Structure 1
Amino acid sequence: MLAGSEQSRLETRHTAMLQAKMRDERSTRPVRVGDISPRGMKVVTDRPPARGSFVDILVSGHQVAGQVRWVNGRQFGIRTHDRIDMKAILSGKSPNTRIKGKRIEPDNDPDKWPLGKLVAAYSLLGVTAFSSAYLLVTYFVL
């Protein structure tokens, strides 16, 4: 019988080497995902979080939340509660994009907004800038 830390892996792991961002109780910082499985991932960073802490990892536009199960030098492993969509993460497809032909385009592209939406957006921006300038002038001059 194997000890708890030496259990055989039932799920396939895939080497990833993806750039990501991690948020824990200390800060948000860049990390690298070394490998990924349906229920966890190995992450590499200069300052790994403590074992047992909870982290959020943003990789390929997907947010993965999990608990740190082990730490070894600069590497640590997280276990997730929900299954990870490995195909989407490894393919680099962001959850808020759609595929048109062979090109991936974001859903909300300002270059393709209709004229009315552009006028409304720039009007709001102008009113905000004018209001900010008015407040600054009245605060510092008066």
Structure 2
Amino acid sequence: MFAANNPRVEPRTRAMVRARLRDAQGERDVCLIDISTRGVLATAEHPPRRGEFVELQIGRNRLAGQVKWTGDHRFGVSLRERVSVAAMAEGGNEPVELARSVSQVRARRSTGDALLSNPQMLGRMFDFALRVVAVACVGYIAFDSIGEAFAPLQEAMRAR
């Protein structure tokens, strides 16, 4: 579990929420007893293994996560998306996923948007492209020159 010198990232909310768990063992009922925006503490007769990816269904919501620890009938799941603790505690009949933060939206932008918003990176990419073109041109010229240098040898070989 957690070491005493490893404090929790955020406070937990105690709850008693029924949910369905889907993992490698199949699908079964679990009870969520501790909820935060990034994870849950759940109980089950046969908890999933540590490191396993699972799906929780709370009301109408399906959430993906990874089992971070497991013990006797208890296990902790780190959720892929941030969730509303209040919506989960009420049984998940309303959407539970929270809107993404500005930094998460920026992190998921396309590469083109990221390049356009960062002039230094755009300059580096342009510089790289020019270097690739220059190397290709030098290679072509060298290949063409070497071909001309060996032309008399090729004629002699053909004359045989």
TM-score range, shorter chain: 0.5 to 0.7
Matched residue, 2:25: 26
Unaligned runs of 5+ in 1: 97-142
Please give the alpha-carbon distance, in whole angstroms, between the structure 2 residues aligned to 1:93 and 1:28.
18
Please give the alpha-carbon distance, in whole angstroms, between the structure 2 residues aligned to 1:87 and 1:52.
27
Where does 1:107-126 land on structure 2 (aligned, <5 Å)?
none
Q: Please identify which structure carries the higher helix content.
A: 2
Conservation of the 8 A alpha-carbon contact between 2:16 and 2:89: no
Give the C-alpha shift of residue 67 in structure 1: 0.3
Give the C-alpha shift of residue 69 in structure 1: 0.4
Where does 1:94-133 land on structure 2 (aligned, <5 Å)?
94-95=93-94
Q: Percent identity, aligned pairs only?
A: 33
Matched residue, 1:49: 48
Please give the alpha-carbon distance, in whole angstroms, between the structure 1 residues aligned to 2:92 and 2:2.
33
Where does 1:32-71 land on structure 2 (aligned, <5 Å)?
32-71=31-70
Please give the alpha-carbon distance, in whole angstroms, between the structure 2 residues aligned to 1:90 and 1:33.
9
Give the C-alpha shift of residue 93 in structure 1: 5.0
Give the C-alpha shift of residue 44 in structure 1: 0.3
Q: One-letter code of the match for 2:78?
A: R
Unaligned runs of 5+ in 2: 96-160
Please give the alpha-carbon distance, in whole angstroms, between the structure 1 residues aligned to 2:92 and 2:52.
28
Aligned length: 93
Matched residue, 2:7: 8
Give the C-alpha shift of residue 62 in structure 1: 1.9
Could you tell me the TM-score, scaled by structure 1's length?
Answer: 0.60
